[in-house]
Amino acid sequence: MTSIAVVKISRRNQKSQNKEKVAELRQQWLSELRDSMSKFVSIAGIISIRSKVAKDYHLTIEASEHHQNLLFYRTKIMLMLDVNKEYTPILKSLIEEVVENMTKPEHDSVIETRAFCQALEEQCQHVLEKAWLDIKEDLAA
């Protein structure tokens, strides 16, 4: 009888540990996505403002580095997204709009760029909130 109780307790503990590990991995993903998105939006803002302030900014080494970083974070974010989630096409579309706007020598106004970035930030907040709720739900189950 004691051995049956030990087995049940062991299984329960193992399930609990598995849930905690899954939650930990999701939390890492969530943090990395948040970090990548914030860097992506920040770089887009820098490119937008500097290109308006300095006429030949797009010809500078700094601009080239900023564009490389923008593309790096775009790719990183795209690879982090789950293709089966309903939010993925929306995020991808917004990210591509930002990149397309940033890679034009004479891109749209700072206000339009900011509008793209704000829409992207709002959509990302929904994704992050959903991921956080999934983590809490997994731990509660």
Q: What percent of the chain has pLDDT above 70?
A: 92
Separation of alpha carbons 105 and 89, rounded Å: 26
Q: Is 80 exposed, middle or buried (0-12, 13-18, 19+ CB in 10 A)?
A: middle
Residue 77: the pLDDT is 96
Confidence category of residue 106, pLDDT binned at 50, 70, 90: low
Tell me how long the chain is.
141
Separation of alpha carbons 100 and 102, rounded Å: 6
pLDDT tens figures, 24-47: 888 898 899 999 999 999 999 998
Catalogue all structural domains in the chain, each as residue range(s) with its CATH number: 2-140 (1.20.120)
Residue with tokens 């790719």: 75
Specify the 3-state DSSP secondary structure of 104: coil
